[in-house]
Amino acid sequence: MKIDYLKKGKVTFYKEEYIEKLLKETPYDMEGNARTPAACHLFNTNDGARKLPEEKAQLFHHIVAKLLYVFRRTRQDIQTAVAFLCTRVKNPDEDDYKKSKRVIQYLRDTKNITLTIKPNNSPKWWVDSSYAVHPDMKSHTGIFMTIGKGGTYTASCKQMLNTKSSTEAELVAIDDAMAQVLWTRQFLAAQGEPVPVTTIYHDNKSTILLSENGKATSSRWTKHLDIHYFFVTDCIKQGEVKVAYCPTKNMLADFFTKPFQGPAFRWMRSIILNMPSNDSVNKVHRSVLGNVKK
């Protein structure tokens, strides 16, 4: 990985050489290009699909491990696809192999893309979830944090428990983010940086109420929730964080919960990696980092 500090006030991360090496190691049946790292059916599975033979299953696991290394360093645009593939490495089938092929083809089409971080304010967080999208009906959490421009921290992961509603899944997603939110606050404070109240943007108003009021606003649909998931309520009362509404169309964490396509994918990618995009969708969603309602 190369890190470029030449331009004052920003840093750019490159990983073309590693990606080139990865592409050369992939088998011939992964040739070709793709415009996005995953198709719309990313989370769909087929119980009738043929399981991979041992040698090919090991190759699949090897490729997924290398893709995991790539997105952890510079390429968060493949994170959602790789997060799902990580859940399939124990017993992969032909459909899983095709999905890994799609990621490789996308990297071949975009191997020169870089991540640029340009800090200029306090951290802002976007947290979201996709409800019951995994084969075992568990939901998927997406997290995006920036300290200005470019993704400083991102996460895309399967939730650890089954939830009974999208509201509950969204609350679990906020809890998934809280450890990193608090660690970031402590890290910045240790560097001597001012640490105001941390804003977490969310697009579910019911979840926001539960976060702010805990069991006080719990209904018969949510009264079963473990008190563990109201840890965020205590953090809000202590003035460490606040949860603010963000319209779904501007929910950047959505990028890490579902496989976007076309202009929507390219617009979100341009914000997360802080790279140019000429899509007309930019005109509709411009200045998302500065104009979200507080």
Q: What is the pLDDT of residues 243-270, one digit of tens each?
A: 999 999 999 999 999 999 999 999 999 9
Average pLDDT over residues 59-75: 94
Reported for 20-24, long-range contacts at CB under 8 A and 24+ positions apart, including other chains, are 20/111, 22/63, 22/66, 22/67, 22/70, 22/104, 22/107, 23/104, 23/107, 23/108, 23/111
Average pLDDT over residues 80-106: 96
3-state SS record for 270-287: HHHCCCCCCCCHHHHHCC
* Last residue in a domain, options 109, 131, 164: 109
Based on the fold, state whether residues 257 and 219 are members of the same structural domain: yes
| Residue 222 scores a pLDDT above 70 | no
| Residue 282 scores a pLDDT above 50 | no
pLDDT tens, position by position, 156-208: 999 998 988 888 899 899 989 999 999 999 999 999 988 999 999 999 888 88
Q: Is the pTM of this model over 0.85?
A: yes
| Residue 146 scores a pLDDT above 50 | yes
Beta-carbon contacts of residue 207 (< 8 Å; ≥ 6 apart): 167, 170, 171, 174, 243
| Residue 130 scores a pLDDT above 90 | yes
Average pLDDT over residues 203-231: 67
Based on the fold, state whether residues 176 and 259 are members of the same structural domain: yes
pLDDT at residue 207, as a whole number? 85
The alpha helices in 5-151, defined as continuous H runs, are 16-25, 54-73, 79-86, 94-109
Based on the fold, state whether residues 127 and 272 are members of the same structural domain: yes
pLDDT at residue 45, as a whole number? 94
Based on the fold, state whether residues 71 and 130 are members of the same structural domain: no
Cβ(240)–Cβ(256) under 8 Å? no
Residue 82, domain member (yes or no): yes
pLDDT at residue 163, as a whole number? 87
Give the chain's domain count: 2
CATH at 213: 3.30.420.10
pLDDT at residue 228, as a whole number? 59
Residue 114, domain member (yes or no): no
pLDDT at residue 220, as a whole number? 52
Residue 90's SS3 state is coil
Q: CA-CA distance, 201 to 246, in Å (whole number)?
A: 6
Domain that holds residue 47: 2-109
Tokens in use for 107? 């990297």
Question: Number of C-alpha atoms within 13 angstroms, CB side, residue 8?
Answer: 0
* Last residue in a domain, options 46, 81, 109: 109
| Residue 291 scores a pLDDT above 60 | no
Tokens in use for 140? 């998927």
pLDDT at residue 280, as a whole number? 43
| Residue 224 scores a pLDDT above 80 | no
Cβ(236)–Cβ(243) under 8 Å? yes
Based on the fold, state whether residues 220 and 187 are members of the same structural domain: yes
Q: Are strands 115-130 and 198-202 parallel, antiparallel or unpaired?
A: parallel
Q: CA-CA distance, 284 to 250, in Å (whole number)?
A: 10
Burial call 130-149: b when 16+ CB within 10 Å, e when fewer: bbbbbeeebbbbbbbbbbbb
Kind and range of the H or E run holding 170:
helix 166-190
Kind and range of the H or E run holding 215:
none
Average pLDDT over residues 49-74: 95
Based on the fold, state whether residues 134 and 261 are members of the same structural domain: yes
